[in-house]
Amino acid sequence: AQSVAQPEDQVNVAEGNPLTVKCTYSVSGNPYLFWYVQYPNRGLQFLLKYITGDNLVKGSYGFEAEFNKSQTSFHLKKPSALVSDSALYFCAVRGANQAGTALIFGKGTTLSVSS
Amino acid sequence: NAGVTQTPKFQVLKTGQSMTLQCAQDMNHEYMSWYRQDPGMGLRLIHYSVGAGITDQGEVPNGYNVSRSTTEDFPLRLLSAAPSQTSVYFCASSGRGQGPSTRYGYTFGSGTRLTVV
């Protein structure tokens, strides 16, 4: 069965510092991996995805994520955090061989960036 | 291009009432799905569809029905509402393959906040 784990409920960083939001996954075969962000009382916004190719994926708002197959991880990173990055972040996965199935989400990590 | 449209945005139901949450997409996406979001639980998959006439259950299907008579629409029906179904519901869609329709992954609607009293 597919699953996603986000081990931290909350991540706190100071503005200007680098940030990492962790995600590990379990899926049969090759994974399709996604990061979404949700601002208060809003829907989910797509940040980036890994399908194949370069292990370092660049996305919206300066975020990037590194796919590590041996560690089954897909951590979200940003070199310099902004207060406006404060939001709820979700990692999601589906199997590459599971066309048509929906995404499975982690429980989310709240990112708080202080000024 | 409206994307994924969910209606209503807010709804209050009494226990035992039934209702339908509407979801429509105008991107000709094959794949559609429904999630519920509860605090500390993330998004949990209720039902999903791979095309018109084809649906399947997700992680938490009990108490919900779906149908997919057209590519565009994927309504979610609550048969007899219960307080445990108080949640925020999201509909999402995605296209097949790696073309422009899937460039941004799954597209989500803005959500329906449902309260059952």
CB pairs under 8 A between A and B: 58
- Local confidence band at B103 (pLDDT 50, 70, 90 cut-offs): low
Q: In this predicted structure, what is the pLDDT of residue A100? A: 58
User: What are the angstrom distances between the C-alpha of B3 and each of A3, B99, B101, B109, B110?
Assistant: 28, 16, 10, 8, 10
Per residue in A64-78, pLDDT (tens digit) is 999 999 999 999 999
The answer to whether B24 and B72 are in contact (CB under 8 A) is yes
Cα separation values, B6 from A30, A56, B24, B48, Å: 32, 34, 7, 16
Any idea how long chain B is?
A: 117
Least confident of A26-40, A98-112, B19-33: A98-112
Q: Is the pLDDT of residue B14 over 60?
A: yes
| C-alpha distance from B14 to closest chain A C-alpha (Å) | 23
Stronger pLDDT, A99 or B76, i.e. the higher one: B76
Alpha-carbon Rg of chain B, whole angstroms?
14
Instruction: Using an 8 Å CB-CB cutoff, list chain A residues near B35.
Output: 102, 105
The predicted-structure confidence for A11-63, as pLDDT tens digits, reads as follows 999 999 999 999 999 988 888 899 999 998 888 998 999 988 889 999 989 99
Residue of B43, B56, B98, B107 to mutate for A, most A C-beta atoms under 10 A: B43
pLDDT tens digits, one per residue of B57-85: 988 999 999 999 999 999 999 999 999 99
Q: How far is CA A18 from CA A63, A81, A86, A108, B86, in A?
A: 11, 6, 13, 19, 37
